[in-house]
Amino acid sequence: MAEKTFEILVINGPNLNMLGIREPAIYGNDSYADLCDFIKMSALPLKLGVTLFQSNHEGAIIDEIQNALGKFDGIVINPGAYTHYSYAIADALSAVQIPTVEVHISDISKREDFRKLSVISPVSIATVKGKGFYGYREALEILKGALEK
């Protein structure tokens, strides 16, 4: 019997399109295109299909989450600054009930006080933070493990 391929939606929120330009001391010198390539390459050995989405607009992210219902088996989300206050994104994730892993390039628990709170974590099966691009690979691995159960 062939191994099932799961379809994963990877959502990146505001300012992640500025990777390599925005605060390289925190986020590194690699670009958003580099991140996309890394995610695609990480999905291959896991036999996961990935669709990538990035937006600086909260409503567009919510629309993408809602549109994922019935199309995707899991979601990896880096909500950017929306992590700390977007109950609307948290509500959308809760509504669709698609297993979700929250990921952050930096360790938000070791940054400014306002970054320490995540309203997304309570609706996620796991949170990966502070591992750079490799956090996305770990998020994909966590999702695959959860989906295979």
- Return the structure tokens found at 50: 């990935």
Q: Is 27 a catalytic residue?
A: yes
- Catalytic pick from 32, 82, 104, 136? 104
Q: Is 104 a catalytic residue?
A: yes
- By annotation, the residues acting in catalysis are 27, 104
